[in-house]
Amino acid sequence: MAYRKLNLDRDKIDNCRGLATRIAAPVQRYIDRHSTTSTERSVLRLFGINDAHMEMPHVSLIVDRLSKDKLRLGIATWFCRALVHTGLKPIQLAHELATDHIKLENMPEVPFDKIKKIGIKLAQDGVKKLDDARTSREKLVYKLGNPPTPYKYLIVATGNIYDDCAQAVSAVECGADIIAVIRTTAQSLLDYVPNGISTEGSGGTLATQDNFRIMRKALDDAAKKAGRYVRLVNYSSGLCMSEIAALGALERLDVLLNDSMYGILFRDINMKRTFVDQYFSRLICARAGIMINTGEDNYLTTTDAYRNAHHVFASQFINERFALNAGLPPELMGLGHAFEIDPNVEDGFLYELAQAQMVREIFPRAPIKYMPPTKHMTGDIFKGNVQDAMFNMSAIITEQSIQLLGIPTEAMHNPHLQDRFWALRNANYIFNNARSLGDEITFNPNGKIARRAQTVLENTHKYLKKIETAGLMKAISRGMFAEIERDENGGKGLEGVFQKDRRYFNPVLDLLKSDDRQEVASNRRG
């Protein structure tokens, strides 16, 4: 792979990474001192508690009934104390707690060594399930093989998981490599994960453990027939970011949309809540071998893609740093960008190439996620098909990793089966016909493409300095990302954040943090 075509200033790139490290450091200190109700629910999920009472998950009923002051010790402290005292099995105890037959706060004190012993055992059992799912994926990938990159990524969004499966299998038969199940509108604002199978939804399908399991089986069956591994995507974002990560990992999802700032900017989730939750969710992803996709592409739908390209790169550096803090290796960081420059801009395609090549060179080991034109799609399907073709050509030239296929009917309606077929046919033709084109191309070091890349890198460096001066939370509150302002103590979910007691106990967190092999290996290779 030719990752040095633009002759970018490597010292400046290193300086950007240093700035990102310093920007993330005070936020990471805040993260380390705090937890959230959703993180605590995730601990119970990994303890094997996945039932519901009156359609409300046991984990939500258990955590919500404990005062925040008591929760400062960690839900594991209270749950394991009750296990020691009652002698019940975890699932039995969860049922008793959820039905209010037992109250955690009424449990008498027991020696902490007994709490610790049972907590560590439950955590080990839960993390083993993550390991088993990762091993199962690796075996299936080895058996079936990966398709060539860019992986062709398509979405389904019917609201009915069974209809989603039918559409997903059809897409795989036509060449899709990644299927994303779009989540029901506003599910990110629910502070619990619904239980059971979903056959109704608006704008998408509920993300539930049962739905994950059903789609996973459908794609595995389709992959075996197609002779290539097919990846499954969902959304680890919003108020249940870490909980979705736990459930997705248990059901062997391959990719989770997971951004350190997306929920803050685009869903008005409180930034403190988001920063804490993204850390725990990424620890889970690192252990389970789940690739994350970040959401920088969304910046370009709210701001000008040519003028503010440096916002994307600044966010990518910061997202990379937070991911490394959680032990995610670059090979699992699907950093996002998009083909969103106004098509009326003269030489706009050259600038798109410059930015796509920049991402590829700055993050050479990351499975970059490249998003199609959406902001400037008008409903003219013929022009839209050309825009998508140019987007696909940009991807194959610059060796992108994941291509979320453009749909010519974008801006008209949710895509029909024939719209997806049209998108796949476009991509299949270009990816095959121009497979090695990037190897044949060099860029004029004084030309528009190289100069554009150098300008964007310089602007990114300057912008990261401004963010460091302001502090990340203040920078967000001032609208320095996507030109959207969010208050540090505003948004949804702040009430679910609490400071840990010095005796806080979370054996899942301790076990996941101890698994720093990926980051150590990553830093050694880097």
Active site members = 262, 297, 369
Query: Which of 123, 152, 101, 99 has its CA nearest to residue 48?
Result: 123
Residue 339, token pair as written in the block: 């083909």
Residue 331 in tokens: 């090979």
What are the backbone angles phi and psi of residue 205, rounded to the nearest 5°?
-120, 140
Place of tokens 């605590």: 40
Please report the DSSP string for 476-526 in residue order. HHTTTTTT----TT-SB-GGGEEEPPTT---HHHHHHHH--HHHHHHHHH-
| Structure tokens belonging to residue 105 | 């706060």
How far apart CA 264 and CA 488 sit, in angstroms, is 10
Partner residues linked to 235 by β-bridges: 257
CA distance 23 to 472: 6
SS (H, E, C) 249-289: HHCCCCEEECCCCHHHHHHCECHHHHHHHHHHHHHHHHHHC
List the structure tokens of 167. 């559409």
Alpha-helical runs (H) found in 186-270? 209-226, 241-250, 262-267
CA–CA separation, 509 and 526 (whole Å): 26
335 contact partners, CB below 8 Å, separation of at least 6? 294, 296, 316, 319, 320, 359, 363, 366, 368, 369
Q: What angle do CA 495, 501, 503 make, to 5 degrees?
A: 145
Helix (H) or strand (E) holding 232: strand 231-235
Instruction: Record the tokens describing residue 176, joined without a space.
Output: 């899709």
